[in-house]
Amino acid sequence: MITALMPTYARADLAFDHGEGAWLWSEDGRRFLDFGAGIATSSVGHGNPHLVGAIAAQAAKVMHVSNLYRVSGAEKLAARLVANSFADSVFFCNSGAEANEGLTKMIRRAMNRTGRPEATRIICFEGAFHGRTLAMLSATGNPKYLDGFGPPVEGFDHVPLNNLNAVRDAITPQTAGILVEPLQGEGGIRLADPEFLRGLRAACDEYGILLGMDEVQTGFGRSGKLFMHQVAGVTPDVMSVAKGIGGGFPMGAVLATEAVARHLTAGSHGTTFGGSPLACAAGNAVLDIILAPGFLDEVNDTAARLWAGLQELVAFYPDIFAEARGQGLLVGLKCLVPNADMQAASVAEGLLTVAAGDNVLRLAPPLIVRAAEVDVALEMLAHAATRIRAHLAAAAQ
């Protein structure tokens, strides 16, 4: 018989009761170090007093009023995001997929309203992940996710990542823009070369099309900068964010330049829940923490420590790991054994991670993770690798 909770996930047999900082306690009383952060989402840790306090206080005042009225928390959060990014205007929504839908609509609308109505197609990349709505399944392009869901939504073309010639060859008069993750998260922590991103910007400028960045996973400090495109020094025209923005409160946003955003006139796009007083209280609280002086410096220090430890780990277990890769606190261990085995062995040591494509074990701790906790995680990974090595040796006999 089917479970009451629809079985769309192969869930680990673990249920959590509460958390504090980078730690989670299961209902059966075990403690885990959380290097998954609910898929790079619990950015400021579990039970963060500032975030919890802001949500509780706002919930007691008013949670939701709809976008028929002004929402001062949303005005404030938008102004802060504008002040700290390339963007001139922000649209709030509820998830990464919804943010990418909005981004795609904005790209199409901007072309339509500037005399290029035929330009509706978006160039995307092999290995991308943009979400699970019907259009974003097409943008993602992974046949496994499209299977059985009818004709894919038209308008998305795919080319290999980091191949500028392929991108330029794919640009036609029907092309409206490009959508790229500066680092593919679900696809296996695959980095878009900074040089490649600069080439995309140049191609967009040359052909008069728009550059969209999906920073749903890389945004909000995870890369060591507020947004990862700042690492490469490449500015998009429009950007989607979600995951870390609310520290675990469901929220997304589209950030755009005025040239793009000015075509989204009243009534052209909308959401019932997006940008609610409650969501924006969470967003503002998260931003208070991430923008506090020195916070991102600490993220970079912690990331450097993790990176150095992972290099040692890879060197010590060349039979288990091929390489460590990533940016900031979004890193991947490319495994030579099934990543699911490595993940299970890590859980047995008390460490939570997230699998990613290309047989990668993804590490994405809360940004507030401390150096001592990084050391503990590295030790747990080493123990897990030793455990797997012992299994392999036993199986070989």
Ligand X SMILES: *Cc1c(COP(=O)(O)O)cnc(C)c1O
Residues that bind ligand X (CB under 6 A): 95-97, 100, 129-131, 181, 185-186, 214, 216-217, 242-243
Minimum Å gap between C-beta 145 and ligand X is 11
Q: How far is CA 175 from CA 38, 115, 161, 169, 192, in A?
A: 35, 13, 17, 11, 21
> Rounded to the nearest whole angstrom, what is the least distance from the CB of residue 189 to ligand X in the complex?
11
Report in angstroms how near the CB of residue 136 gets to ligand X at its nearest. 7
Residue 165 burial by Cβ neighbours in a 10 Å radius (0-12, 13-18, 19+)? exposed
* Complex with ligand X: residue 243 or 325, whichever CB lies closer: 243
Number of H helices, E strands in the chain: 14, 17
Give min distance, CB of 335 to ligand X, in A: 20
How many angstroms separate the first and last alpha carbons of the chain? 41
Query: Would you say the C-alpha torsion 192, 196, 197, 200 has a positive or negative sign?
Result: negative
Least distance from ligand X to the Cβ atom of residue 182, Å: 9
Residue 53 or 270: which CB sits closer to ligand X?
270
Shortest separation between residue 397's beta carbon and ligand X, angstroms = 42
Nearer CB in complex with ligand X: 246/309:
246
- Of 45 and 96, nearer to ligand X (C-beta) is 96
User: In the complex with ligand X, which residue's Cβ is closer, 97 or 211?
Assistant: 97
Q: How far is the CB of 313 from ligand X (least distance, A)?
A: 25
How many CA atoms does the CB half-sphere of 152 hold within 13 Å?
Answer: 17
Of 242 and 306, nearer to ligand X (C-beta) is 242
Q: Which amino acid is at 180?
A: V
Q: Nearest-CB residue to ligand X?
A: 96
State the nearest-atom distance from the C-beta of 330 to ligand X, in Å.
Answer: 10
C-alpha span between 90 and 261 (Å, rounded): 8
Residue among 234 and 337 whose Cβ is closer to ligand X: 234
Residue 90 or 97 with smaller CB distance to ligand X: 97
Measure the CA–CA gap between 353 and 36, rounded to whole angstroms. 5
Q: Of 316, 328, 331, 243, which Cα lies nearest the Cα of 286? A: 243
Q: Of the candidates 230, 290, 253, 279, which has an alpha carbon nearest to the alpha carbon of residue 86?
A: 230
Q: Hey, which bits of the chain come out as E strands?
A: 16-20, 23-26, 31-34, 89-93, 121-125, 156-159, 175-180, 183-184, 190-191, 210-214, 238-241, 252-256, 321-327, 330-335, 351-352, 354-356, 360-363
Closest CB to ligand X among residues 23, 125? 125
For residue 362, the minimal CB distance to ligand X (Å) is 10
Is residue 55 within 8 A of residue 281, CB to CB? The reply is: yes
Distance CA 275, CA 108 (A): 23
**Beta-ladder partners of 125:** 159
Q: Which of 289, 285, 275, 288 is nearest to 72 (CA)?
A: 275
Q: How far is the CB of 377 from ligand X (least distance, A)?
A: 21
Other C-beta atoms closer than 10 Å to the C-beta of 195 total 11
Instruction: Give the C-alpha separation, 239 to 255, whole Å.
Output: 5
Tell me whether residue 184 or residue 302 sits nearer to ligand X (CB atom): 184
